Amino acid sequence: MRWIEEPARRHEARADYEVIVCGGGPAGIGAALGAACQGARTLLIEAGGCLGGVWTAGLLSYVMDSADKGGVLETIVARLQAADAYRPEPHPSAGSAYDGTADYTYDAEAMKTVLDALCRDSGVDVLLHARVVAAAMQGGVATGTARGADERDLRDEGGPRTGSRARAERAASARAAAIEAVLVEGFGGRAAYTGRQFIDCTGSGDLGALAGAAYEMGHPESGQVQPSTLLAIVSGVPDEQESTLVRPHKEALYARIAAGGYAPSYKRPVLFRLPQPGMATLMLNHQYGVRCDDPWAISHATREARAELRDAVQALARTAGWERLRLVATAQQLGLREGRRLRGRYTVTRDDLIAGSRFPDAVCRATLPVDVHALGPEREGEDARQQVQAQPYDIPYRSLVAADIANLLMAGRCISGDFHAHASYRVTGNAVPLGEAAGVAAAMAAQRQVEPACLDGADVRAAMRQAMRQ
């Protein structure tokens, strides 16, 4: 193998912030607005050309597990409603353990405008087209030599932060590695931004990995990850066609596409009706074994999925009543259901879901069942919900606090959880409040000049509630 040596470079720090949020998707939006509302000088860095991540570049267009979340998510909904870009789409399982009563679809283009306005109004500095490529640690630059998490003590690193426990954590924080700056690559080359507190909202735990944080990825036995999906927007959907949110409707849609001459790789395709007449989002492909750290696999999967969407839409348009169906757009961003799960001071597990665990430092309550998509084509049709009977459960603040990086928090998919728990809390209705909690905590830590591990999660939750009332 041939190696190319990159010359050492020095970078002037462009600006200094109290809070730097990496990743401008749903979790990153919650984090940036949460920090800014506490008065912290905040930078939001996004690799793409718009805010929203999977909401916008990914064309997801459907928000799940959003009931009773309040805060930033409630504000976003109000703005979408005012723009006539919101359509209530209650999940049929509402009334069971999952509260899908507040689920909805939205206009992805309107979502971009809403998120831009919220960040502008809150004073958040937004840097688009900028990918985080390195973490400058106190004393040197980490090149991404992340390590897998030690199974010992992964679940819980402590309870309430009082007395000797709090003193021990302050001592541990003093010894832990800390991020000094992030290096980003974008138009104009590479730049450095320094900060006091950092939040990984990249979805795949990119910042944590670059800083050398411990993490897990994939199934604990096989290492397999959930399949990825590329979403699409279509027009010309028959007026009588409902969203396919339950299994019989999904199977009927699959049969219709197959009758048109194409068999989708996802056996339970989903169609979400959008606010605009005749418009819908389609989810019908599974790209197996695509890891977040494999650029060639992501590139191949994106191209393969785009071709599948074209063929499937053409097949559906050959069936009676669907002749006007047209493919309007495919997503710029492949939807990765799974990435790194960074090691935190508490790890949410399947046992927490089964027990419906409650925590004194809870910052989000999740209700979605475990949703593991088939790990391979031979397993299509399996239902993980039958394997893990989840109850509504709390996500504690400790699972947002990195175990081994003193000034790193995480929010969204990359918080500390096991494979099955992640398959429940990973949806965007949870990502926003998790981000908001991380943002509030980061601002509090920066202003008090302490590390996030020294904060009481109950105080973070109280600050979130206070912000909601303002």
pLDDT in tens, 397-437: 999 999 999 999 999 999 999 999 999 999 999 999 999 99
Q: Which residue has the tokens 């996802």?
A: 266
CA 58 from chain center: how many Å? 12
CA angle 98, 100, 104 (to 5 degrees): 155
Burial of 112 (0-12, 13-18, 19+ CB in 10 A): middle
pLDDT in tens, 345-366: 999 999 999 999 999 999 999 9
**105-109, 241-245, 303-307: least confidently modelled range:** 241-245
* The pLDDT of residue 175: 58
The answer to whether 20 and 182 have CB atoms below 8 angstroms apart is: yes
CA 46 from chain center: how many Å? 13
**Residue 223 neighbours by CB under 8 Å, 6+ apart:** 217
pLDDT in tens, 56-75: 999 999 999 999 999 999 99
Token duo for residue 232: 């699409």
Q: What is the mean pLDDT of residues 196-209?
A: 99
Question: Is residue 248 scored above 80 in pLDDT?
Answer: yes
33 band by pLDDT with thresholds 50, 70 and 90? very high
Length of the chain: 470
Strands of the sheet with 341-342, listed across from one edge: 147-148, 214-216, 341-342
Q: What is the mean pLDDT of residues 196-206?
A: 99
% of the chain beyond a pLDDT of 70: 90
* The pLDDT of residue 382: 63
CA angle 100, 105, 110 (to 5 degrees): 145
* The pLDDT of residue 95: 54
Interatomic CA distance for residues 87 and 280, integer angstroms: 11
Nearest C-alpha neighbor of 248 from the set 270, 280, 226: 270
Highest mean pLDDT among 14-18, 150-154, 252-256: 252-256
Interatomic CA distance for residues 6 and 37, integer angstroms: 41
Question: Is residue 160 scored above 50 in pLDDT?
Answer: no
Interatomic CA distance for residues 272 and 80, integer angstroms: 17
**3-12, 138-147, 388-397, 425-434: least confidently modelled range:** 138-147
Question: Is residue 12 scored above 80 in pLDDT?
Answer: yes
pLDDT in tens, 76-119: 999 999 999 999 999 887 556 788 889 999 999 999 999 999 99
pTM above 0.85, yes or no: yes
171 band by pLDDT with thresholds 50, 70 and 90? very low
* The pLDDT of residue 97: 78
